């Protein structure tokens, strides 16, 4: 039977008197990248710590490849690779020493550890640092070592908590490419509070806010469901509203000032070029154009309000 690699049912956890997460349901297939998105304190890390066996939940069940994590934790954890937000690195060990320690910690057969180490190092681009002390590596390479320890035992599920946090732009691009590579033959859960990170990497998205799931679907459905596509255009010679609606993809118009308009469109990536072409053709004398960006807090608010509205309607 082909089980989902991760299945979570009725998951709840309470710290003292307050609930960190409440009644979480989640199911993830065998391959691909799923984004776990939430603001700081939303419950992402609690959920990941529980699914990886680091924390015992107050209520609910976690199944890894069909195995109940609470009943057979050793078998379940062999199928999980986990990189916490702060990588669990021993800075005074070399890369090889550290990975060997992690392999033994994962109860791997000693006979296969050397080959597994080489595969993990090669995949993460750190083979040339085998004998380098981890404390002498840059932040980006330390993160690669952290990912290598998460995949050394060839797990079916890899959980990465804020893996690009604190990296410079070049390092972020490199780690993104690495995550895409390791997701080719396994499932990856990628946690972030940065929407653009999740949009660039993930095929599916689960959003947690106030300890509850407010959205779980494909990235395409997310973009169509919650994010209004709009652009602001400032012109010296603005046209009538009807002229804007002749631009392919434009759906409506909002008057901000006499010379500045907000244009809503269907998500076309070529919208700015189409507006500029129409402006040149019709003499609108465009001074400025920029796409609106919806903040992550606004998106959470939209989703939370929609969820509350649906709940209230269903209770009537």
Going by their DSSP bridges, the two strands 32-37 and 80-83 should be labelled as unpaired
Q: Report, in this order, helix, strand and coil percent for the chain, each rounded to 5.
A: 40, 30, 30
Element holding 219 (H helix, E strand): helix 219-226
Global pTM value: 0.74
Domain for residue 102, yes or no?
no
Eight-class DSSP state of 3: -
CATH number at residue 39: 3.40.50.300
Name which of 148, 150, 144 is nearest 172 in CA terms. Answer: 144
Same domain, 75 and 172: yes
Same domain, 271 and 171: no
Domain for residue 312, yes or no?
no
pLDDT per residue as tens digits for the range 261-283: 988 887 666 788 889 999 999 99
Torsion 78-81-86-92 (CA) sign: positive
Domain for residue 316, yes or no?
no
Domain for residue 143, yes or no?
yes
Domain for residue 33, yes or no?
yes
Q: Per the structure block, which two tokens stand in for 250?
A: 């434009």
Going by their DSSP bridges, the two strands 187-192 and 32-37 should be labelled as parallel
Domain for residue 262, yes or no?
yes
Neighbours of 204 (CB within 10 A): 20
Q: What is the pLDDT along the chain (316 residues), one digit of tens a residue?
A: 567 899 999 999 999 888 999 999 999 987 889 999 887 788 988 999 999 999 999 999 999 999 999 999 999 999 999 999 888 999 999 999 999 999 999 999 999 999 999 999 999 999 999 999 999 999 889 999 999 999 999 999 999 998 888 788 888 888 888 899 889 889 999 998 777 788 788 889 998 988 999 888 888 777 666 555 788 899 999 988 888 888 888 888 888 998 999 888 876 667 888 899 999 999 999 999 887 766 555 666 666 665 555 455 554 4
Same domain, 32 and 85: yes
Rounding to the nearest 10 degrees, give the CA dihedral for residues 199, 205, 206, 207.
30
Number of structural domains in the chain: 2
Same domain, 143 and 272: no
Domain for residue 73, yes or no?
yes
- Structural domain of 258: 228-291
Same domain, 279 and 147: no
Same domain, 181 and 243: no
Assess contact for 140 and 173: CB atoms under 8 A: no
Domain for residue 39, yes or no?
yes
pLDDT per residue as tens digits for the range 213-237: 988 888 877 766 655 578 889 999 9
CATH number at residue 262: 3.30.70.100
Same domain, 214 and 239: no
Same domain, 204 and 233: no
pLDDT per residue as tens digits for the range 14-23: 998 889 999 9
């Amino acid at each position: 039977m082909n089980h989902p690699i991760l299945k979570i049912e009725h998951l709840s956890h309470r710290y003292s008197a307050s609930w960190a997460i409440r009644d979480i349901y989640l199911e993830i297939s065998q391959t691909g990248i799923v984004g776990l998105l939430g603001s700081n304190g939303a419950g992402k890390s609690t959920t990941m710590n529980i699914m990886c066996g680091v924390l015992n939940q107050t209520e609910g069940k976690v199944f890894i490849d069909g195995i109940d994590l609470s009943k057979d934790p050793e078998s379940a954890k062999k199928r999980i690779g986990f990189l916490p937000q702060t990588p669990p690195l021993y800075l005074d060990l070399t890369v090889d020493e550290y990975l060997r320690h992690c392999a033994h910690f994962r109860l791997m057969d000693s006979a296969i550890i050397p080959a597994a180490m080489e595969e993990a190092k090669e995949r993460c681009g750190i083979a040339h640092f085998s004998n380098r002390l981890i404390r002498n590596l840059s932040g980006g390479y330390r993160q690669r070592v952290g990912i290598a320890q998460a995949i050394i035992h060839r797990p079916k599920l890899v959980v990465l908590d804020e893996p690009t946090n604190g990296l410079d732009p070049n390092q972020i691009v490199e780690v993104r490419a690495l995550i895409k590579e390791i997701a080719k033959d396994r499932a990856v859960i990628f946690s972030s509070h940065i929407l653009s990170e999740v949009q660039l990497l993930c095929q599916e998205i689960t959003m947690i806010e106030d300890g509850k799931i407010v959205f779980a679907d494909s990235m395409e459905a997310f973009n169509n469901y919650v994010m209004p596509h709009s652009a602001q255009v400032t012109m010296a010679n603005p046209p009538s509203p009807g002229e804007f609606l002749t631009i392919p993809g434009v759906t409506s118009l909002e008057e901000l000032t006499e010379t500045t308009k907000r244009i809503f469109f269907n998500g076309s990536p070529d919208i700015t070029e189409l507006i500029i072409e129409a402006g040149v053709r019709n003499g609108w004398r465009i001074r400025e154009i920029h796409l609106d960006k919806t903040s992550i807090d606004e998106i959470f608010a939209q989703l939370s309000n929609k969820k509350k509205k649906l709940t209230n309607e269903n209770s009537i």
